[in-house]
């Protein structure tokens, strides 16, 4: 028995409509993915620009006498800071987090927060190393390298002791990203302040770094204990970001800020 013409017309229309719906859904999904990726890339670039702005503002306000208020010198050292940030961001992947892969491509909000804070903390150490009077720019590089190296050393200890990159990159736990970001900002603030001041010699710089920067390793021990308590587990696979993430991060920053306030002005700080 032959089928009526209306049956073939109806089947064809249904197939065409279903195809258009599937195509529309695919295009809509691709569009949302593209917009999301652009937002994460934009947030990362804003953070990089803010880090460079922080360096430039610190140099303009508190740099050495031959740098402070001189556009050419500030631009030169800010360009060096950009190279410093770029090199440091390449080293982030050795500690389990990648700006390009985790923040931009995989659109991981926990990684975005942690990595943006890491960039700002590196900027703090670089800026601190360039504050104060000294005979040459290479002395500032030594101070900045000491502070940045200390920051990476503490991050490595935290990674070895708590595997925080797994919580951030693989489990995408926002609370872990906030805690890591708060710790890195706190350590960068303490170490940046520890190397700020007039240059005397390598030995004096190292001595001042240890004398003024010792709270950062203590904070690292605290962060290790906190990570073991608050990281995702079978009993609590999704810890609340406020009580388990933002509040500990703010406490880290409060402790670091209190120490920097206790130290007061560094040697040679312009009034």
Between 159 and 271, the more confident residue is 159
Over residues 201-221, the mean pLDDT reads 97
CB 87 within 8 A of CB 145: no
Q: What is the pLDDT of residue 4?
A: 53
pLDDT 10s digits, 233-261? 989 999 999 999 999 999 999 999 999 99
Q: What is the pLDDT of residue 169?
A: 96
pLDDT 10s digits, 46-100? 999 999 999 999 999 999 999 998 999 999 999 999 999 999 999 999 999 999 9
DSSP state for residue 130 in the 8-state scheme? T
Other CB atoms within 10 A of residue 217 CB? 16
Q: What is the pLDDT of residue 120?
A: 98
Over residues 180-187, the mean pLDDT reads 98
Tell me how long the chain is: 271
Between 24 and 6, the more confident residue is 6
CB 74 within 8 A of CB 131: no
Q: What is the pLDDT of residue 25?
A: 42
CB 58 within 8 A of CB 131: yes
Q: Which helix (H) or strand (E) holds 199?
A: none
Other CB atoms within 10 A of residue 151 CB? 23
CA distance 221 to 197: 27
């Amino acid at each position: 028995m032959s089928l009526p013409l209306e049956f073939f017309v109806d089947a064809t229309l249904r197939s065409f409509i279903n195809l258009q719906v599937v195509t529309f859904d695919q295009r809509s999904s691709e569009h949302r993915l593209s917009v999301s990726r652009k937002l994460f890339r934009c947030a990362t670039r804003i953070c990089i620009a803010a880090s460079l702005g922080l360096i430039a503002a610190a140099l303009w306000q508190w740099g050495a006498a031959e740098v402070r208020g001189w556009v050419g010198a500030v631009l030169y050292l800010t360009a060096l800071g950009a190279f410093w940030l770029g090199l440091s961001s390449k080293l982030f992947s050795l500690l389990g987090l990648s700006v390009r892969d985790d923040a931009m491509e995989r659109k991981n909000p926990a990684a975005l927060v942690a990595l943006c804070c890491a960039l700002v903390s590196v900027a703090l150490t670089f800026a601190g190393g360039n504050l104060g009077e000294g005979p040459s720019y290479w002395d500032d590089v030594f101070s900045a390298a000491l502070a940045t190296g200390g920051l990476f050393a503490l991050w490595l200890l935290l990674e070895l002791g708590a595997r925080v990159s797994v919580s951030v990159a693989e489990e995408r736990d926002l609370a872990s990203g906030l805690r890591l970001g708060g710790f890195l900002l706190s350590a960068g603030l303490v170490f940046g302040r520890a190397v700020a001041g007039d240059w005397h010699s390598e030995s004096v710089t190292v001595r001042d770094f240890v004398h003024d920067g010792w709270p950062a390793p203590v904070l690292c021990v605290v962060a290790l204990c906190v990570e073991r308590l608050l990281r995702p587990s079978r009993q609590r696979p999704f810890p609340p970001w406020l009580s388990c993430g933002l509040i500990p991060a703010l406490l880290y920053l409060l402790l670091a800020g209190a120490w920097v306030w206790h130290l007061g002005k560094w040697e040679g700080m312009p009034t």
